[in-house]
Amino acid sequence: MAPGTKRRLNWGPVLGFGLVSLATDLVSDGARPLAGPLLAQLGASALLVGLVTGGAEAAAQGLRLVFGPWADRTRQYWTFTMAGYALTAVCVPLLAFTPGIGAAGLVLASVLIIGDRVGKAVRSPAKTVLLAAVAKPVGRGRGFAVHKSLDLAGALLGPLIVAAVLAATGVVSVAFAVLAIPAALALVLLGWLRRRVQGPGGGLPATAGTGVGPLGDAGNGPAAKTASLFSGVFIRFALAAFFWSAGLVAFGVISFHLTTAVAVPVSVVPLLYAGAMGAAALGALASGVLYDRAGGAVLLVMPLLIAAVPVLALAPGAALVLAGVLIWGVATGIQDSTVKALVADLVPEHRQGTAYGVFAAFEGGGALAGGALYGALYDARPLLIAAVAGLQAVALILLLVSLAARDAKA
């Protein structure tokens, strides 16, 4: 097989997963910047917005502790992947109906916002196991970075489409309804990819030309049976993720601040979110390339970025808020790409679904704590800034210890 042909075959599945994520994030992230304004329109307080959006992120992360091991145990990676994408494709467009059903609208909107993120919890461990397998031949840092960049392209286009619909109609419900179109497209793309990437346990067939055998083969040997998932390095890294997640505010709180304190029009908020997703794509690509060259030390920037977010993103001036939104985007891009590459390199392949579930539970617990923290201290900004700085100091220490221990074992 010619080198160029093999290279295209290696990248094909990675790009396929990236296109599915592009269409899905067009839906989910198209709706995400409107969560805070929608809840405020339906009568929610800052605390409730913080709890709902923080709870949604906690569900997206914490429930992976259930679905990751479940996927590993059943080996039905594609079943979980498809079910999770379908849940997002249903929940987001249904938000269009919430402003028209009276007092129940706030409850339904809260449930659907959380339901969208539950869909992410259902699919993410299984999808990431599939992605880790197909990305291995091209380099996991690069593979995850390219996938995340396509994912973030959808996260950028979604808010732009929503902003255009809002500018044309001025009706939030129409903006949510339009997202049903890319939701359907995501499911069609996923069905196509399922037929191309398959095999025992949902992995690649050995003849796919990627150099990766059927997923699950790594778990057949004696060494795989004795491999320990919960190493000290992994646990310390997961604890670091808990603390940085507690400081990384959900965008719902930022969008609430933009519309209620900075007087930014609702139609502009998706544009700011799109800018954040552009910054996230650059952060993912840069950190992914550096990870393949220099290793996990690139992640030391995470706590520093997160500590700056409340200082800037919750400031009273629009210029500072914009800077904070962009920094938030960079941190989010690194968290959702290069962090996952390191997790894949820390654990045996046959336990990666469980590992992603456990790791995400730490991140989800941090997100829930952070949602409550931001909601409770929203009106006491100096205390909030100090609390986030303290959390990131702990995260930085744990990350340094984790990376030193990993290097010592290498």
Task: Report which of 151, 94, 86 is spatially closest to residue 119, judged by C-alpha positions.
Answer: 86
Q: Distance between CA atoms of 247 and 282, rounded to whole angstroms?
A: 21
Looking at residue 8, its pLDDT comes to: 57
Query: Regarding predicted confidence, which is higher, 25 or 145?
Result: 25
Q: 3-196+223-409 architecture in CATH?
A: Up-down Bundle (1.20)
Report domain extents, the chain.
3-196+223-409
pLDDT score, position 243: 95
**To which residue do tokens 């894949």 refer?**
344
**Per-residue pLDDT, 213:** 37
Evaluate whether 371 touches 53 at the Cβ level (below 8 Å).
Answer: yes
Task: Check residue 314 and report its DSSP letter.
Answer: T
Q: Please state, for a pLDDT cut of 90, what percent of the chain lies above it.
A: 31
pLDDT score for 60? 82
Q: Helix H segments across 64-139?
A: 64-74, 77-94, 104-135
What is the per-residue pLDDT for 210? 36
pLDDT in tens, 246-298: 998 878 788 888 888 888 888 888 888 888 888 988 888 888 888 888 888 89
pTM for this model (two decimals) = 0.68
Could you tell me which residue, 234 or 47, shows the higher pLDDT?
234
Average the pLDDT over 224-242 and give the result: 72
Helical axes 352-376 vs 251-260, angle rounded to 10°:
30
Give the integer Cα–Cα distance in Å for 81 and 345: 21
Reading the block at residue 201, the tokens are 């346990």
- Backbone dihedral angles phi then psi of residue 337, each to the nearest 5 degrees: -130, -75
- Select from 404, 399, 64, 405 the least CA-distant residue to 237: 399
CB 216 within 8 A of CB 348: no
Cα–Cα–Cα angle for 397, 291, 364, rounded to 5 degrees: 55
Residues 27 and 172: their CA atoms lie apart, in Å, by 14
DSSP H stretches of helix in 248-300? 251-260, 269-294
Position of tokens 């025992």? 200
Nearest CA among 274, 276, 238 for reference residue 364:
238
pLDDT digits (tens, 9 = 90+) for 161-197: 998 999 898 888 899 999 999 999 999 989 888 887 7
Q: Which amino acid is at 319?
A: A
Alpha carbon distances (Å) from 25 to 85, 86, 89, 148, 153: 10, 13, 10, 10, 8
The answer to whether 388 and 307 are in contact (CB under 8 A) is yes
pLDDT tens across 370-407, in order? 888 888 888 898 999 999 999 999 999 999 998 888 77
Give 103's contacts (C-beta < 8 A, 6+ positions apart): none
- Average pLDDT of the residues in 327-354: 83
Per-residue confidence (pLDDT) for residue 206, from 0 to 100: 36
